[in-house]
Amino acid sequence: MPLPVDAKSRWKRDGDGPLNAPVTLPQVPDGDYRLRARVTTPLGTDSVDAPLPLYAPARVRVLTDRPLYEPGHRVRFRAVALRAKDLSPLDGRPGTWLVKDPTGEVVLEERAPAGPWGVVAGDLPLDRGAPTGDWTVAWTSGGASGEARFTVEPFTLPRLRLEARSPRPFWRANETPEVTGEVAYASGAPLADTDVALEWSHAGAWPPPTEWLKGELPKKARTDAAGRFRVTLPRVPADLRGQSTLSARVEARDATGEPVRGAVSLLLSEDALAVSSVTELEDGLLAGFSNRVYLRATTAAGRVLPGAEVTVTRAWDPKDPGVSAVADEDGVAAFQLDPGPAVNVVVPPLPVRPTPRPPPVSVASSLDLLNEEGGQQPSLADQLALERLLPALHPCARFVSGAQGGVRVALSARVGPSGQVLDVAGTEEGVGSCMAAVLRARGLPSGAERMLVLQFNVREPGLPTLHPTTQAAAGSTGPMDAALAQPALDARSCLPPDLSTPTLLPAVMTWRQARGKRDVALSWLPLSSGDTGLSASVLPCLKERLARLRLPEQQEEPGGDSSIGGSMGVVRFTAQPARPAQPARRISRAQQEWATTFLGYELKVKAKWEGQDVGDTTLVLRPAALPPLRLRATPVLAKAGEAVKVELLRGPGFRGELPRTLELVAGQTRLRAEVDPATRWAHFTLPADFEGWAHVEGVAAQARVYVAPRAKLAVEVSPDKPAYAPGELAHLRVHTVVDGQEGPAAVGLFGVDEMLAQLAPLPGPDALEGLRPAPTVATPAFGVLDGQALAMGRIRGANAAAAALLRVTEVPTLEDVETRVSANATSPFSPDAELTEPFYAVLMELHAQTRKWEETAPKGETLDPAGLARLWAASLTACEQRGEKVTDAFGRRLRLSRLPPDLLSLTDPRAVVVSGTRLPEDVVNWGAWVARESP
């Protein structure tokens, strides 16, 4: 196809550079072309070809028919290519499929152009020995490419299906949550009378009750004859704050042991109504000002309430009538709201949930000295028996005080063949003695005789403590304090575990110790201190634990007197509550993050939907500052050719004059309109063919308008029958609607057994979302309306669109110009090749002229360089007369001084003259002479 040069822009040369001229390329499909230039010069006519790839900037997405394959399967993949400028399909665009295995080796490289609608498909049969792992498939075309990943590994589709759900979308305080579900085979047959295991986790600021974390949440259920199961959870406490989520991993197994897994989430919500806000003032409010506020009201579970009547009142003012508005299609209502003066907003702390204490006794190590290898771990039966014995050892932890934190207790036990503990060696008092007694009483499984070396970690059990206060009437109190240390720890089990305040026991103990004796005589006297709140069984239990006291071994005091001398006195006991499991400062950290007091606006929001009250909730917003100037566009979600009004709103900090005109930039079109001084409005009419983003320029404030693409596509897929028998062929009806009318469209169908979703996540309807560029938002409006929702047309309501536009920080820019392409090529040109043929013709004539001179020249005459130059000139003339070419590649006559060195050497007199007597004895360098004389 010839490309004419513009008549007004002929070929020009920039200085000493090459010639250039602008050439307009025709509208051709994307592909690889050749640019051919035909050149006519004094040297002749020639042509040169340069590769010219013409590819428009494109967006490419690749999909596979499923995410998981086995070796031997066939992988099917498909790509769609759209022009980046206007997102139109690139039909026929050349491209290449590239498939790589997990090692990065290319296993498929195949040229595949896009078909109609910019869609290209391919497939790859996997070898049965294909490597397992993550594979990649990519389609590349002119610098644009898309990539998808899939996994290759052996798998078996699950035979079971498990579904678990919450009967309600959310649960409130004082309600009893439930989980229902069913387990069935893939064929639909129920899996009856099987166990279902649940493993719970929690997410959210509100801490669940400690009992829930200790195992009060149900961990097992059983299916009925229909394969269904139901689980009832504990009642939700009244101190529920905000929203929290309980999640459970659910697992069931059939008779063969094959597992099936699922999950369920329970939403716990303080209020039935959830409200989020967007304002024009950085999501804050201004007192004494008409604030534009957008509220999105949903149920606690997030269900949108289109058309709901939303009422906002000041929470601190019971007489405030409030303002009401109706929500749009996306559940967003717009208000002009004066929140009143800012008040002290108090957010109370979350309830305290102390961290559960770890088990007070655990096995640190165990060895069997009598096993075959010696000093190895005991049998699995003994290890399991020791783990089961730990709850019986927990009471022994009362001998470990909070000051100790934890101790390690070593015991050695000899166990007979019957499992009876024959002997225990270790500490003779306190925690060791207690644990030894438990081992003797319980025993271990029967088997060979063994000798066990055991070590236990023992921690503070979290029991109240008994603090004795001794007063001596005679003698020292030191020996008595030492004698009371272990019995006071033993007596901790007598105190109520829920003791909350320090309590003085209603009795005092008197002691009398005779000189030289270690035994102590005790007696108890009641105190008239009133009701202490302790159970009547506490004091008898204490008297029993403290019945026998012995002073320590005799020691010499500094004065030389024996410490075991006659002494007497009284002891009063105080019961102290247990220490917390963790320091209070750690418990209150979550409270401090939640609890706060600040100056702000507390609003009460109510919603009524379809004639029924949905509920109410509290919305808290902080104060904001009013900018000097704001812009407000109406409507923000416009249509092509529609009128748009832009209003200028001044703030207290505005100085100067309002601009006389505003400019609306709509793509490549710039619209200018005058600002009405009275109303501060500027009116624009959008272009009839415009779509995309428009914004106002000329002032410091910002306002944007979005025009959604005109083309609206809807797809409906329906089978010809509701159910099919195995092996039966199913027929699907695909119906596409374009702009409300039936029309053609590209449709991709991927059929995958939904049981595969248990092994790998399946692609959803948003797999191609990234094809349409989305604006950048600081944070999604109301937490859900992001830039992608705007780009995909998912925002239908005018209020929701206005709120979403307030969060847009940067709009996408389509590539309005094609990419720059440079091509360079040169045709082969060899001056020496053009010189060779005429040179040898002249050289032959030179030899003929020289032979003739040798025959006719006088005797004794020699041929010097000047003479040979004359013969060369005569040879040129003779060749010209015969019509032979005597010019070089540039059209110049062949001169000796222009010849290359290799050809010049052939014209040397010594190479031309045959008889050496015709050459002078004084040899002149031929090349140097030619360079000097330039003949």
Q: Which of 3-7, 272-276, 330-334, 702-706 has the lowest mean pLDDT?
A: 3-7
**Mean pLDDT in residue range 614-624:** 92
CB 753 within 8 A of CB 157: yes
**Mean pLDDT in residue range 926-932:** 89
Question: Concatenated DSSP letters for 286-337?
Answer: -TTS-EEEEEEEEETT--B-TT-EEEEEETT-TT---EEEE--TTSEEEEEE
Q: Report how far residue 670's alpha carbon sits from residue 697's, in angstroms, rounded to the nearest whole number.
A: 10
Per-residue model confidence (pLDDT) at position 655: 87
**Nearest of 362, 313, 321 to residue 339 by alpha carbon:** 313
Per-residue model confidence (pLDDT) at position 584: 40
Per-residue model confidence (pLDDT) at position 347: 83
**Nearest of 353, 242, 269, 346 to residue 590 by alpha carbon:** 353
Q: Is the pLDDT of residue 53 over 70?
A: yes
- Residue whose entry in the numeric block shows the structure tokens 């014995």: 389
Collect all residues with Cβ–Cβ distance below 8 Å to 683 and sequence separation of at least 6. 643, 644, 645, 646, 673
439 residue type, one letter? L
Per-residue model confidence (pLDDT) at position 563: 47
**Mean pLDDT in residue range 329-354:** 88
Percent above pLDDT 70 for the chain: 94
Q: From the CB of residue 356, how many other CB atoms can be counted at a distance below 10 Å?
A: 13
HSE on the CB side for 299, CA within 13 Å?
15
Q: Report how far residue 652's alpha carbon sits from residue 639's, in angstroms, rounded to the nearest whole number.
A: 34
CB 617 within 8 A of CB 274: yes
Q: Report how far residue 849's alpha carbon sits from residue 869's, in angstroms, rounded to the nearest whole number.
A: 12
106-111 and 119-125 strand pairing: unpaired
CB 450 within 8 A of CB 362: no
Average pLDDT of the chain is: 86
| pLDDT tens-digit map of 421-439 | 888 887 767 888 888 888 8
- Out of 6-20, 502-516, 757-771, the most confident range is 502-516
178-185 and 343-347 strand pairing: unpaired
The conformation of residue 556, written as its DSSP 8-state character, comes to: B
Tokens for 777, please give them: 């938002």
Q: Is the pLDDT of residue 586 over 50?
A: no
> Higher pLDDT residue, 605 or 637?
605
Q: Report how far residue 484's alpha carbon sits from residue 597's, in angstroms, rounded to the nearest whole number.
A: 50
Tokens for 673, please give them: 């309109």
Q: What are phi and psi of 461, to 5 degrees?
A: -85, -5
Question: Concatenated DSSP letters for 829-871?
Answer: --HHHHHHHHHHHHHHHHHHHHHHHHHHSPTT----HHHHHHH
**Nearest of 429, 432, 481, 478 to residue 455 by alpha carbon:** 432
Per-residue model confidence (pLDDT) at position 463: 87
| 494 three-class SS | helix
pLDDT grade for 245, boundaries at 50, 70 and 90: very high
Torsion of CA 524, 527, 530, 532, to 10 degrees: -40
pLDDT grade for 43, boundaries at 50, 70 and 90: low
CB 651 within 8 A of CB 626: yes
pLDDT grade for 374, boundaries at 50, 70 and 90: low
Q: Is the pLDDT of residue 714 over 90?
A: no
Per-residue model confidence (pLDDT) at position 517: 82
Per-residue model confidence (pLDDT) at position 252: 94
Over 888-913, what HEC string results? CCCCCECCHHHCCHHHHHHHCHHHHC
CB 361 within 8 A of CB 408: no
Q: What angle do CA 92, 96, 101 make, to 5 degrees?
A: 150
| pLDDT tens-digit map of 757-799 | 877 888 877 777 777 777 888 889 998 888 788 777 788 888 9
Q: What are phi and psi of 214, to 5 degrees?
A: -80, -5
**Nearest of 845, 831, 848, 847 to residue 899 by alpha carbon:** 831
Q: Report how far residue 37's alpha carbon sits from residue 220's, in angstroms, rounded to the nearest whole number.
A: 82
CB 213 within 8 A of CB 356: yes
**Mean pLDDT in residue range 372-400:** 85
Q: Report how far residue 522's alpha carbon sits from residue 570's, in angstroms, rounded to the nearest whole number.
A: 9
Q: Is the pLDDT of residue 591 over 60?
A: no
Q: What are phi and psi of 833, to 5 degrees?
A: -65, -40
637-638 and 704-707 strand pairing: parallel
65 residue type, one letter? D
**Nearest of 774, 770, 763, 835 to residue 809 by alpha carbon:** 774
pTM, 2 dp: 0.70
Q: Is the pLDDT of residue 580 over 90?
A: no
**Mean pLDDT in residue range 503-526:** 85
Q: Report how far residue 834's alpha carbon sits from residue 878's, in angstroms, rounded to the nearest whole number.
A: 20
Q: In what order do the strands lie in the sheet with 106-111?
A: 68-69, 144-152, 133-141, 96-100, 106-111
Q: What are phi and psi of 61, to 5 degrees?
A: -130, 140
Residue burial 617-655, b: 16+ Cβ < 10 Å; e: rest: bebebeebebbebbbbbeebbbebeeebebbbeeeeeee
Per-residue model confidence (pLDDT) at position 172: 95
> Higher pLDDT residue, 553 or 166?
166
Q: In what order do the strands lie in the sheet with 521-526?
A: 465-474, 567-576, 503-513, 521-526
Q: Distances in Å between the alpha carbon of 246 and those of 200, 208, 229?
A: 7, 9, 18
Q: Is the pLDDT of residue 270 over 50?
A: yes
68-69 and 144-152 strand pairing: parallel
pLDDT grade for 228, boundaries at 50, 70 and 90: very high
300 residue type, one letter? A
The conformation of residue 688, written as its DSSP 8-state character, comes to: T
* Rg, Å, the chain Cα set: 49
**Nearest of 359, 369, 412, 410 to residue 389 by alpha carbon:** 359
Percent above pLDDT 90 for the chain: 32
- Out of 56-60, 97-101, 666-670, 897-901, the most confident range is 97-101
Tokens for 759, please give them: 């092994």
Collect all residues with Cβ–Cβ distance below 8 Å to 910 and sequence separation of at least 6. 919, 923, 926
| pLDDT tens-digit map of 116-172 | 889 999 999 999 999 999 999 999 998 889 999 999 999 888 889 999 999 999 999
Q: Is the pLDDT of residue 679 over 50?
A: yes
Q: Is the pLDDT of residue 903 over 60?
A: yes
Collect all residues with Cβ–Cβ distance below 8 Å to 439 and sequence separation of at least 6. 389, 411, 413, 421, 424
HSE on the CB side for 307, CA within 13 Å?
4
Over 367-391, what HEC string results? EECCCCCCCECCCHHHHHHHHHHHH
Collect all residues with Cβ–Cβ distance below 8 Å to 141 and sequence separation of at least 6. 30, 55, 58, 60, 81, 93, 94, 95, 96, 114
Tokens for 718, please give them: 């329906």
Tokens for 520, please give them: 């102590």
Q: Is the pLDDT of residue 556 over 60?
A: no
259-269 and 704-707 strand pairing: unpaired
273-279 and 220-222 strand pairing: unpaired
| 392 three-class SS | helix
